[in-house]
Structures are given as C-alpha cells and as structure tokens.
Amino acid sequence: MRYSALSLAWNAATGHRFWKPAWRDAEPKPAYDVVIVGGGGHGLATAFYLAKNHGVRRIAVVEKGWIGNGSVGRNTTIIRSNYLHPANTRFYEFSMKLWEGLEQALNYNVMVSQRSILNVFHSDAQRDAYARRGNAMRIAGVDAELLDTDGVRKRYPFFDFDNARFPIRGGLLQPRGGTVRHDAVAWGYARAASDLGVDIIQNAEVVGIDIQGGRAVAVETTRGRITADRIGISVAGHTSHVAAMAGLVLPIESHVIQAFVTEAVKPLISGVVTFGAGHFYISQSDKGGLVFGGDIDGYGSYAGRGNLPVAEDVAEGGMALMPAIGRLRILRNWGGVVDMTPDGSPFIDLTPVQNLYLNGGWNYGGFKATPAAGWTFAHLLATGQSHELAAAYRLDRHATGRVIDENGQGAQPNLH
C-alpha cells in the first residue's frame, strides 16, 4: 500500500472502503532461516534489518497476539539519547540517528518529532549531576544544553519555579529528543519488512522451544511447529517465561509501567519534560491530550495494569512541577509489562543454548531503542557475533562486574 494526496482524496471520496492492508498477514511455513519470537517494535525492526542489511530471505516474526499489542503500542513515545554511561550514550545516539532517517528508510510517516526533552533540576547537587551528564553527552557528540532558571522560564513560563520544596533551578535540554508515533513504528517496520519477504505470523504463541544436543532447532507454536536455523527471542516483558522454555533462568523481573492521558487542551507543553524531585515525565500529543507517567509499581507483574498508589504519586509529581494542569481530567490510564534487570540495562546477546539469541531486559528506554536494538540484534542473528554498539549488553555482566547502572541504584531491579 502506498499513499499520496491523490489516494487520500480518492479513498475519502469513496468512503474509505477500498484501502488495502499495508502488509501481508502470513501463514506459517514449516521452516525458516531465522524465526523471531515477538512482533513488537524490536522484533519487527530486527526482521527488517535482517532482510535489508544482511540479505537474509527466509525470516518469520511469530507473534502471539497481533503486532503492536504489546508495549510498542502502550508506551509514552519518548525518544532521547541523554545518557551518562559510554555504552548507553553510544547505543542510544545511534538509535537517535536511525530515528532521524527512519521515515526515508521505511518510506513511512512515523511522525518523528524532535521537540526536545528537558530534565528539570531543583538543587545545586542536582545541577552538578546534570552538568556532568551534559558534558558526557557533548564529549560523545550528543547535543546537550544546560539551562538556568530563565532559560527554563522562556520555554515553560507556567512551571512552579518558586515551589517551597522543589524550586526550579534550571534544566538539562537535549534539543534532538522528542516523540515518535508509536503504533506507526510497528506498522512502518511491518510494512517494510513484509515488502522484503518477511512472514509476519500473528495469533501464533510460542509455547515451546525444541532443543536437540544443545542446539535450538524449532519453536512449537499454537499454529504448529516451525524449524529454524536461528531463533531470536524478542518478547519484551515476557522474556523470563519464554527463555524458560529453553531451560534458561535469567536475571530479569517483569514489572508494570503505567501511563495516563488527560482530556485535550490547546498547545501547552511544547517538548518533553521530566521532573527532578520525583518520577514524572510529560508531553502533549498532537490531539492535545497530556501524556504522562512515572515509576513502575514496584512489584512483579504480568497483569498489564497497575494500582492507584502510583497514579497518586505521578499526579503529585505533576502538581509539584506544573500546578496549572490540576483541573484537567484524566481520560485514560493503562499499563504494560516490561522486563527489569539488576542494573536497569538490557541484554542483546548469545545464550548458553546454541542458535538461540536474546534481545531482552528492556524497560523504560525500550521504545527509543527500537531502531538500534533491531539493527544490532539483526547483526547478532546474522553473524553470530555481537555488534560493537551492543557488545556491552552481555548476559554475564553481573558476574564480570561490568554492570551498566545509569542511576547507581545497585542490583535491585525494581529500583531502576
């Protein structure tokens, strides 16, 4: 399916009855070169780059529901590369560059909107920490600007600058940060992958991984058995129990992140903003609703929904930063399942089982990572070797001590 002003006009005039599906809903074949488990943003991106960058032709993405039903369609759509640790800075900046060219690469409008991200700070100590982070970013070639109070005031005059507990002292700005239309990312990668011959197989849950002589040889799905030379697990919040099908026990917990949307208002918040004295981040959708979220609930969960204490905590953060939003009504609230690791960073690695590869451990930063995760996981699946940009995301890093703990929280997954 291709779009043009003419096709839009013609389809509008004919009551939208003649639109065709953008990609092929494939039937499973008995065998593939590569089977990717999970049709989220990462799985679809992996399939696309496997076909595009590595010329692999017989690829299947096996999805238990429909593509986009997971976190790729539930997240708050923020992209940024404002990290401190070199491993993360490199990886997420590469992802940012891929976002910047993604619409051309996919020939699909994913609505990349580099409207900036601002991390507000409230004390001298926090200013120091953000200055350090900004410097680390600039050394790595990432854009960063330290704003003082007036700099923040120019952008967001309605913030509570003189809040008695959390006065605003400035902020760290990444102008290239922003948002991307999340569903369009799933659809865009799906269409581009499908055009390159990738089979996207929906309503096929992987229920078993067949291992013979230490090698993964096939997946058992609810739509039959599929053999594969290589199998890639990319199931986001479900990594633990899918990996358990191959006998693996991993340093991962499943948690719930919640998100909230208010009724629509006129343009108010031009970029993405994060509060510095609690966990609250916000942006405004193109429809006008304020989209925001905060901490994970903290207990393990596969429920895909959270509880009210976090809703209260998030609302309190919002009120401390911008009391102007206090009378808006929250229209919708939902949750999604994410992986949490002991250091908060992901895994893109080989597993102890031959021919079985893992892309998992993704939590808060998983959406913005989609292009780079797909790119580097495709490299791993095609070559059997880690891509240099993902080489730090190893499964054994807790044993070697090479942990990547952005916040310095320590090995407690629910604190990241």
Partner 1 sequence: MRILCPYCGERDAHEFSIRGEAPMTRPVVIGVPMAEAVAALHDRRNPPGRTREFWYHGAGCRSWLLVDRDLRTHEVFGATLASGAF
Ligand X SMILES: Cc1cc2nc3c(=O)[nH]c(=O)nc-3n(C[C@H](O)[C@H](O)[C@H](O)COP(=O)(O)OP(=O)(O)OC[C@H]3O[C@@H](n4cnc5c(N)ncnc54)[C@H](O)[C@@H]3O)c2cc1C
Nearer to ligand X, 168 or 259 (CB): 259
Nearer to ligand X, 127 or 359 (CB): 359
Phi, psi of 171 (to 5 degrees): -165, 160
CA Rg, the chain, in Å? 21
Torsion 193-196-202-204 (CA) sign: negative
Q: List binders of ligand X among 139-168 (CB under 6 A).
A: none
Given partner 1, ligand X, none, residue 366, with its beta carbon under 5 to 8 Å by kind, binds ligand X
Site residues for partner 1 per CB under 8 A: 238, 240-241, 244, 249-254, 298-303, 307, 309, 342, 398-399, 411-414
As a whole number of angstroms, the distance between CA 108 and CA 136 comes to 33
Q: How far is CA 208 from the centre of its chain?
A: 26
Contact flag: residue 65 with ligand X (CB under 6 A): yes
Contact flag: residue 371 with ligand X (CB under 6 A): no
We find the least distance from the C-beta atom of residue 182 to ligand X, in angstroms, to be 7
We find the least distance from the C-beta atom of residue 2 to partner 1, in angstroms, to be 41
Given partner 1, ligand X, none, residue 228, with its beta carbon under 5 to 8 Å by kind, binds none
Contact flag: residue 206 with ligand X (CB under 6 A): yes
Nearer to partner 1, 84 or 252 (CB): 252
Please give the single-letter amino acid code of residue 102. Answer: L
Contact flag: residue 205 with ligand X (CB under 6 A): yes
As a whole number of angstroms, the distance between CA 147 and CA 106 comes to 35
Contact 307, 296 (CB under 8 A): no
Please give the single-letter amino acid code of residue 401. Answer: G
Given partner 1, ligand X, none, residue 72, with its beta carbon under 5 to 8 Å by kind, binds ligand X
We find the least distance from the C-beta atom of residue 403 to partner 1, in angstroms, to be 10
Nearer to partner 1, 197 or 298 (CB): 298
Q: What is the dihedral of CA 408, 412, 414, 416, to 10 degrees?
A: 10
Of 177, 336, 344, 360, the one binding ligand X by CB under 6 A? 336
- b/e sequence 161-199, b meaning 16+ C-beta within 10 Å: beeeebebbbbbbbebbbbbbbbbbbbbbbbbbbbbebb
Given ligand X, partner 1, none, residue 41, with its beta carbon under 5 to 8 Å by kind, binds ligand X
Sequence-ordered list of residues with C-beta below 8 angstroms from that of 395, at least 6 positions apart, any chain: 250, 347, 349, 350, 351, 358
Q: List binders of ligand X among 29-58 (CB under 6 A).
A: 37-43
Sequence-ordered list of residues with C-beta below 8 angstroms from that of 403, at least 6 positions apart, any chain: 342, 343, 345, 397, 411
Given ligand X, partner 1, none, residue 8, with its beta carbon under 5 to 8 Å by kind, binds none
We find the least distance from the C-beta atom of residue 257 to ligand X, in angstroms, to be 4
We find the least distance from the C-beta atom of residue 25 to ligand X, in angstroms, to be 15
Contact flag: residue 242 with ligand X (CB under 6 A): yes
Of 35, 36, 59, 72, the one binding ligand X by CB under 6 A? 72
Continuous segment of H or E residues that includes residue 172: strand 170-174
Mark residues 78-117: x for contact with ligand X by CB under 6 A, - for none: x---------------------------------------
Sequence-ordered list of residues with C-beta below 8 angstroms from that of 62, at least 6 positions apart, any chain: 28, 35, 36, 37, 38, 39, 201, 204, 206, 219, 221, 226
DSSP 8-state symbol, 27: P
First to last CA, the chain: 42
Continuous segment of H or E residues that includes residue 166: none
Contact flag: residue 209 with ligand X (CB under 6 A): no
Nearer to ligand X, 117 or 325 (CB): 117
Given partner 1, ligand X, none, residue 309, with its beta carbon under 5 to 8 Å by kind, binds partner 1
Given ligand X, partner 1, none, residue 391, with its beta carbon under 5 to 8 Å by kind, binds none
Given partner 1, ligand X, none, residue 331, with its beta carbon under 5 to 8 Å by kind, binds none
Nearer to partner 1, 126 or 333 (CB): 333
Nearer to partner 1, 132 or 241 (CB): 241
Q: What is the dihedral of CA 47, 51, 56, 58, to 10 degrees?
A: 60
Residue 414 tokens, joined: 């629910």
Enumerate binding residues for ligand X (CB under 6 A).
Answer: 37-43, 62-65, 69-72, 74-78, 205-206, 234-236, 238, 242, 257-259, 293, 336, 338, 362-368
